[in-house]
Structure 1
Amino acid sequence: MSNTTVRAAAEGMPAINRRRLLMGLAAASTAAAAVTVAPAAHSAAVNENSELIRLGNELPAAEAEMLAAKAAKRAVFAEWSPRWPLAPDEIIEHGCEIERTLTGAGLYRDGLKDCLRVGTANDFRWWKASIERQLASKRIKSEARRTQLRKDIKKTQRKISIAERYAAETARIREASGYEQVSERHSAATKALTSLIVAIMAQPETSMQGVMIKAQALATWKKADRVYRVLNADGFDWGSQLAASVIRMASEVAS
């Protein structure tokens, strides 16, 4: 729901209704503030969905793990990215693969809007075999042409060696950095947090305490990387759902 829509709805609401809703919201919030978000000791005293409270109790630990995993991933990237080699000039623009960073994302060099293409050892092996077939063909009669093909074979063999060394060095750095492990940890922690928040938002709330649990869940969700939030279709309506719950709770108290 856009801010414009919210303002329009508020402006179209009679002043007396707005005042009642605000008073109801204040009363409901005061009641919810008497206990913590999901207190085991007070759960019986609050008429709230017990499953929602249980899920809310799991939120701090899930958030802490996601943030710790995210920080570890960033630390590894910051430490090891400066050691990541650029592809040698000899193998650039000779293949279908793009130049990549430690993370596996495309590498954009300064001043360039596109990633460079990098030839792999297999690319050059294929090209070398193609040249060798040409050289073996009896259709090529020119000795000058055959001499050039022999030079091309040697040149391509050098590129194979360069591509192999480059691939070995990037693999060594990726292994030594432990980036794959911290990336997997971050992914698992974010997926676990996502599943927890999906479960929280799917539960019905019966009091302002439940609304507060959901509000905290959405505040935590904002801390996840944007790519995870965009890919989670369930989250598109969470904001409007929470707003509707707040208005409903305030209306019930005010009535």
Structure 2
Amino acid sequence: MSNITVRAAAEGMPAINRRRLLNLTGAGLALAATAASVRNASATPPVAAAAEHPDAELFALEKEMEAAHARMETAAEANSTLSDKIEALLPPRPPKWEDPDMPDHLHEINLDRRLRDMGEIPEPIRAWFKERREQKAANEALHDAYHAKIAEIHREGGVDAAEEAFNACVSEVDEFTKRICSIPAHTFEGMVVKLRAHVRSGGEIEKEEMYLDDYAFASIAADIRRLATGGDA
């Protein structure tokens, strides 16, 4: 599905959630690859071993977060499917308003110093400004009607409800990330849980455009994955 289609259905979303939706519906392939590499690094120990592990609390929370993340992916797919249907119902966007140029003969009148000194605006120029205001108001009315129609289509088509459901899932996943990151990790396996939580909540480890602190974080993340897997990562 194209990004344009997703944006049409996600127009009312907070920007950060819209980005999350794009990442989950095909526009975040690089992030998905990163998430896969983090998930594959040091899987959570078996239940029996996890219960005695120093980071047992982190492993338990991660299991709950996995379920929440699956719900978020399902909600994202529902938004994607719905957006395909809604796209065909959307009316064409009205033309953008552009101020017209004043005709040359009126421009010459407007520059006449004698008329300026009189402090009066000639009738032809007043009429032109009046017509321009009316045209601009008509264009604004078209845009108001367009946005009202979009809102109506979204409301009746269930877009608003789908977005609310997705936003609720995003909040749930984010809350798990906060809880996981608030618990000290005692092992590298526990640290990897935090890396996975970071990625699942929309974070990036290896970005297309890296700054100095990004390189440091990516390097530390790679070290944690390597040490958590005994040097194989």
Question: Structure 2 length normalisation: TM-score?
Answer: 0.50
Larger Rg: 1
- Compute the TM-score of the two structures, normalised by the length of structure 1: 0.46
